[in-house]
Amino acid sequence: MSQKYSSLLACFIAERRSLAAYLTGRTGCAATADDLLQDAWLKLSRGPTNEAVSNPLAYLRRMATNLAIDDARSNARRLLDPMEIEVLLEVADEAPNAEQKTSDAQQLQRLLEVIDELPARRRELFLAARIEGLPHKELATRFGISVRTIELEIHRALDYCSARLREHAGEPTRNL
């Protein structure tokens, strides 16, 4: 066994923990880091390199980095294992189901009916402010009324819609 080769193996043994910590940080998994260290050991144990290694620690770190890069590349192309698939299937679906969609559509239809019950000007102000997002100042100019009146009309429309929707849901209501 050559002196260069034995110093490389001795360095590997001495620096195994720091290499494991580096690879764990790089891969995010201690088990993967151990596997990569095993691969490094196998490469080193196959025999001396043809080139002289002047800095064994730098050589080992570069080897570890290359192994981590190769592992990341191969994992990017791999298929999920059954355990990973099972975990993904257990993630709750946040999309509404058919029943919720039907309920939401009914509530929206009821809200549209309640909005239609509003007096014409109040309905127009409410829709312009809440649906179109127009500023109160612009609405005041368009309708020739004060910003305060706009605020009161929108507030009244909200109160009315809220009360009518609670009434429809069977909840107690305040005076309209």
Residue 44, both tokens: 């080193």
Residues 63 and 132 in one domain: no
Task: Let me know: does 157 contact 128? Beta carbons within 8 Å.
Answer: no
Asked if residue 15 belongs to a domain, the reply is: yes
Give the chain's domain count.
2
Residues 25 and 82 in one domain: yes
Task: Let me know: does 8 contact 59? Beta carbons within 8 Å.
Answer: yes
User: Which of 135, 140, 161, 164 lies closest to 150, judged by CA?
Assistant: 140
Rounded CA separation 47/5 (Å): 7
Asked if residue 173 belongs to a domain, the reply is: no
**The pTM is what?**
0.46
Predicted confidence at residue 1, as pLDDT, reads 45
Residues 36 and 12 in one domain: yes
* Segment 120-131, tens digit of pLDDT: 999 999 999 999
Predicted confidence at residue 168, as pLDDT, reads 87
Residue range(s) defining the domain that contains residue 126: 98-168
Asked if residue 57 belongs to a domain, the reply is: yes
Q: Say if residue 96's pLDDT is above 90.
A: no
